[in-house]
């Protein structure tokens, strides 16, 4: 049980960090009212969306994922980020492509954190 909580908290931190970095790159397209607080809350909502809704999206879009050799996952990541911006009003994302870019940044941050954590345990 503690391992699952640790993994979720790590996912929450990674989502928040990725959103913060993406908002820094796209300051005109991704805005928040209170930068730190709203980014942390949006990261929590994104982590919950990734746990609950993203697996359903992946299963439903499996043919597109296979045909594009996995590149459709970028669109799914962007869709989840855009969904979070619609669910949480203080996070404003102007268009879908900014959300796709934010999803790519979050994925990259997640990849880097995974590499760092795996190298520590090995």
* Domain boundaries, position 76: 2-121
Cβ(102)–Cβ(93) below 8 Å: yes
Q: How far apart are CA 70 and CA 86, in angstroms?
A: 25
Instruction: Say if residue 46's pLDDT is above 90.
Output: yes
Q: How far apart are CA 62 and CA 13, in angstroms?
A: 28
Confidence of residue 119 (pLDDT cuts 50, 70, 90): confident
What is the arithmetic mean of pLDDT over 19-38?
Answer: 90
Query: pTM for the complete prediction?
Result: 0.90
Into how many domains does the chain fold? 1
């Amino acid at each position: 049980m503690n391992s699952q909580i640790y993994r979720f908290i790590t996912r929450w931190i990674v989502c928040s960090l990725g959103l913060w970095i993406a908002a820094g790159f796209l300051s005109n397209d991704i805005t928040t009212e209170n930068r730190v607080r709203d980014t942390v809350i949006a990261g929590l909502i994104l982590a919950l969306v990734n746990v609950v809704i993203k697996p359903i999206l992946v299963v439903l879009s499996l043919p597109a994922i296979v045909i594009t050799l996995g590149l459709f996952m970028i669109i799914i990541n962007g869709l989840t980020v855009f969904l979070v911006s619609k669910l949480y009003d203080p996070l404003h994302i102007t268009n879908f492509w900014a959300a796709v870019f934010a999803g790519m940044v979050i994925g990259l941050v997640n990849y880097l954190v995974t590499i760092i954590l795996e190298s520590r345990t090995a």
